[in-house]
Structure 1
Amino acid sequence: MYQTKTKREKIKLFLIILIPILITQVSMYGMTLFDTIMSGRAGAADLAGVAIGSSIWVPVSMGIVGILMALSPIVAQMVGAKQDQDVPYTVQQGIWLSITIGVIVSILGFIFIDPILSFMDLEPRVQHVAKYYLISIGTGIIPMFVYNLIRCYIDALGQTRISMFIILLSLPLNIVFNYVFIFGKLGLPAFGGIGAGIASSLTYWIALGLSVWIVHVVRPFRKHHIFRSWSKPSFKSWISLLKIGVPIGFSIFFEVSIFSAVTLFMSVYSTYTIAAHQAAINFASLLYMIPLSIAMTLTIVIGFEIGAKRISDAKHYAYMGILSGMFISIFAGAILYIFDDPVARLYATNPEVIELTKHFLFYAIFFQFADGIGAPIQGVLRGYKDVNITFWMSLVSYWIIGLPSGWLLANYTNMEAYGYWLGLIIGLAAGAIALFTRMYYLQHSLQKKLDTQQS
């Protein structure tokens, strides 16, 4: 990370940080993408089972990862304020916290997995795949959380190419593991969709091992001696991380879980409808990795500028990122519109599933545009460490506006399953408008405060 003075320098630094993050996020989501595509090749029931399992796993895991993302703005502001001596202790406490959360989530999952799946009206094969997919992927939950914590530290230093390197090594292994465990190769039985969970767990362990090794031996990370002079767990430090992380985590959880809630509500429809819905959500979520990557980049650069008290520079980065998200969402919408049939055929061979998927993809065009604006603004606010109000905005937009409107449209109009997707569009659009209003107010307040101090 370094100070920029001109617009060209800002664009250059922004891209230097963004491109590796984007490649990393697309590759990480590639694991879920290949889980879904390859499970679909094993059968519609396997695809539906992975869909149900993912609808439970993804919001929980993403919410926890969101909590751990608090480390990025904290470390970025430390570096911006030239307080590097505080970085090792903060990262170590983050690792302790991620392990503790992983243990708690594993215990809760063991207790509640059967009641949750039994509550849904699923076909026996679908329920079986969903249950053991969750159990399999759960064996990698602790390494996943610790890896993401370490990745936040790496990215906060502006070394996003390192994260890219780790995931680019891990993704091909994930594909190979999927092939082996889903379809039964190398003398192993064919686990179907359950094999996707086994493959993901193994990949998380490998990613963790690579990240620990790199932080320990590679510059500039080794100067912090993260894995030397290990500090004891400190609940006081955990609370400091959680004060920023919990609102971030719940904001992400509310956004991600609304998609999962829709999947659970749609369990009353046919297996083909569930499979098509999951396929469309899966591909649309891949496109979402672009605005999400912009958001993560904005958190880093704005955190760095705010730490150095350069309010104007932080504002310039904010609008640069938001405009980028807008243009990219238009491009992504064009992809969904033009290539709906090839995309649908990636996930299934059944003609009915393909046709249903194409219909869902049409609605995805509109809600990903709202995401293209809303996600970067969330990244901006995290860079400012302004996370509490965004938490409430996410709750209201997604769960009080989006999901109920979707339920009403699905059950009281002839839209049926597609009504839920229109509800998603309404909720995401409301969230984007509210977030922009908050960002504008915050920037105005900070500038006014700075002007007062200088006068």
Structure 2
Amino acid sequence: MQAYFKEFPKNLSIAFPVMLGQLGHVLVGFVDNVMIGKLGPAPLAAVSLGNSVVFFALFLGIGFSFAITPLVAEADGEEDYVKGRQVFQHGLLMCGLLGILLFGLLLAVKPILYHIDQPTEVVNLAIPYLNIIALSMIPMMFFQGFKQFADGLSLTKYAMYATIIANLINVLFNYLLIYGIWIFPRLELEGAAIGTLISRVFMLIFLFYILKRRPKLKPFFVLMKKSLQKNIFKRLFGLGFPTALQMLFEGGIFTATVLLAGTLGTNAQAANQIGLNLVSMTFMIAVGLGVTATIRVGNQKGKRDFVNLRRLAQSIFVQVFLIMSVFAVGYIMLKSFLPTLYIDDVEVVQIASQLLIIAAIFQLSDGLQVAILGALRGMQDVKIPTLICFVAYWLIGFPISYFLGKEEHFSSMGIWFGLLAGLTTSAILLFFRFEYLSKKNITQVV
């Protein structure tokens, strides 16, 4: 354990900016939900429904962009800067094209919302919100390309700066446009979406500007003399597609809870949204350490030092477990208070407080599985983990959510029992995968 503890400060130094950046995204969602919650349960449920569709697109796009980080980290470990530049520029082009594709996809799926047993008033409110959020996918994906490149070089603080400032801009425009303050019109949900769009355009411009001005990064911004190379796109796709599926499988089951909660009524859906927003905040702490695992493991893979690779990864697993244990206790102690930050409706608060008890338990497995996935991604092992995610979430977790989430069984709590089962199964199976693969690499080198 002492060998693990001494790595904690360095792990946190890499992870902290990622945590703050990711937490910033969720805090904006928190502010959005608090502001919109003042409009009533139906608008809050509409944001939940609209975001459930957007999250599918985000999981797909961000999953592909994650392929950039381990390849850049490996090139950095090998001190091969030409390779790093090629990965960056091909990856950025891939992200831009994905942003345009996802924008069109979100517009195409809107009519489906009317046919999935959701309250009509909620769907009618969600459609205009979704139109604007879909457009924001284009700057968001370009931003992801720059962010994952910087993360691969362990320069995690610049994306954090961009995110924090952009989030402040988002909060300001949300306040002005949701309620119609000063000279601005009262646009309610559409105002929240416009605030998000403005903040994402700013994020992209800011991160591009700050990275391009760094002297050490200038070689990466010199356009390649060679034409686009099929083998680099193939490597990016080979890592990105399974990673995108992993995120879709996990994110999809959380999105499914929104739809399942919608079948129980507006109050259940609003409570579900509160629970998801709260757990996503603490989950982002684990995401930061998962990115750290990808970076540090990727560096050691480039150096072919598999003994240190295993030790560093395990130190991150222990660190995540300890941190998430603290959050679990916090959720149990504050389960009745936290939902009141969002809404005053007594029934919604009661349902949300019950969900937080289950959330406290699955904090541990959720944190561990994202950290282990990050380590496996750093080892460029993505196919078997993708299969594990599918089995855990959709063959085990979702059926439990579906059957126990009926009104005659456990209702909203039953839906979250499925989340608990899926996340725990995923964490256990992924841990066995890491143990097998890391020991195998050490044996092969010896």
TM-score scaled to structure 1, two decimals? 0.94
Post-superposition CA distance 1:39-69 (Å, at most 9, x none): 1122211100001011111132023101111
Equivalent runs, 1:384-395 vs 2, <5 Å: 384-395=379-390
Counterpart position of 1:217 = 213
Q: Find out whether 1:439 has 2:434 as its counterpart.
A: yes
1:46 aligns to what? 43
What's the counterpart of residue 289 of structure 1? 284
2:378 maps to 383
Equivalent residue for 1:33? 30
Letter of the 2:364 partner, please give it: F
Aligned partner of 1:218: which letter?
R
Q: Across the two proteins, how many residue pairs are aligned to each other?
A: 444
- Among 322, 328, 335, the alignment partner of 1:327 is 322
* Residue identity in the other structure for 1:189: P
Is it true that 1:408 corresponds to 2:371 in the alignment? no
Task: Verify the 8 A CA contact 2:36 2:43 in the aligned structure 1.
Answer: yes
Aligned to 2:128: 132
Question: Which residue of 396, 415, 418 corresponds with 1:420?
Answer: 415
- Tell me, which stretches of 5 or more residues in structure 2 are unaligned? none
1:426 maps to amino acid: A
- 2:72 is equivalent to residue 75 of structure 1: yes
Structure 1 residue ranges without an equivalent (≥5): 1-5
Is contact 1:42–1:183 with CA below 8 Å preserved after alignment? Answer: no
For 1:329-388, what per-residue CA distance to the aligned partner results, in whole angstroms no more than 9, with x for missing partners?
Answer: 110111111112221011101122111211111111112221021111111101100011
Correspondences of 1:42-121 after superposition (within 5 Å): 42-114=39-111, 116-121=112-117
Question: 1:338 corresponds to which residue?
Answer: 333
Report the CA distance between 1:233 and its aligned residue: 4.7
Determine the C-alpha separation between the residues in 1 that align with 2:211 and 2:198. 21
Q: C-alpha distance in 1, partners of 2:286/2:25? A: 15
* Structure 1 residue 304: Cα displacement: 0.6
1:355 is matched with: 350
Structure 1 residues 312, 30: closer, same or farther in 2, change over 3 A? Answer: same
Note if contact 2:260-2:405 (Cα within 8 Å) is conserved in structure 1: no
CA shift, 1:231, in A, is: 6.5
Q: Which residue of 1 aligns with 2:148?
A: 152
Amino acid at match of 2:262: S
Identity of aligned residues (%): 25
User: CA–CA distance in 1 between the matches of 2:406 and 2:165?
Assistant: 46
**SS where residue 44 of structure 2 aligns?**
helix
Structure 1 49/235 Cα, relative in aligned 2: closer, same or farther at 3 Å?
farther
1:351 and 1:219, CA in 2 relative to 1: closer, same or farther beyond 3 A?
farther
**Contact 1:34–1:175 (CA under 8 A) maintained in structure 2:** yes
The answer to whether the 8 A contact 1:25-1:289 is kept is: yes
- Within the alignment, does 1:369 sit opposite 2:364 as a pair? yes
Question: Given that residues 4 and 312 in structure 2 are in contact (C-alpha distance below 8 angstroms), is that contact kept between their aligned partners in structure 1?
Answer: no
Deviation at 1:280, TM superposition (A): 0.8
- Of 160, 172, 180, 2:168 maps to 172
CA apart distance, 1:285: 1.0
Match of 1:3 in 2: none
From 246, 271, 275, the equivalent of 1:280 is 275
Is the Cα–Cα contact under 8 Å of residues 12 and 289 in structure 2 kept in the other structure? Answer: no
Q: Hey, what's the Cα distance between the residues in 1 that align with 2:24 and 2:328?
A: 21
Distance in 1 separating the partners of 2:233 and 2:62 = 15
Deviation at 1:229, TM superposition (A): 5.2
Q: Distance in 1 between matches of 2:14 and 2:339?
A: 32
- How big is the shift at 1:232? 5.2
* Cα distance, 1:232–1:124 mapped onto 2, change above 3 Å: farther
Equivalent AA in structure 1 for residue 312 of structure 2: Y
- In the alignment, the residues of structure 2 paired with residue 111 and residue 11 of structure 1 have an alpha-carbon distance, to the nearest angstrom, of 46
- CA deviations 1:61-103 (Å, max 9, x no partner) are 0231011111000000000011012222221111111111112
SS at match of 1:373: helix
Q: Following TM superposition, by how much is the alpha carbon of 1:234 offset from its aligned partner in structure 2, in angstroms?
A: 4.5
Structure 1 residue 8: Cα displacement: 7.2
SS of residue paired to 2:381: coil
Give the whole-Å Cα distance in 2 for the aligned partners of 1:182 and 1:386. Answer: 44
Q: CA 1:8–1:407 in 2, change beyond 3 Å: closer, same or farther?
A: closer
Work out the CA distance in 1 between the residues paired with 2:227 and 2:263: 49
Q: Secondary structure at the match of 1:334?
A: helix
1:122 and 1:422 map into 2 onto residues whose CA distance is 22
After superposition, residues 155-234 of structure 1 pair within 5 angstroms as 155-226=151-222, 228=223, 233-234=228-229
> Is the CA contact (8 Å cut-off) linking 1:47 and 1:193 kept in structure 2?
no
Aligned-partner residue type, residue 107 of structure 2: F
Structure 1 contact 178–196 (Cα < 8 Å) conserved: yes
Bigger Cα displacement from structure 2, 168-177 vs 10-19: 10-19
Q: Distance in 2 between matches of 1:333 and 1:126?
A: 32
Offset from partner CA, 1:387-417 (integer Å, 9 cap, x none) = 1100000001001100001212123862122
Residue 222 of structure 1 deviates from its aligned partner by 2.2
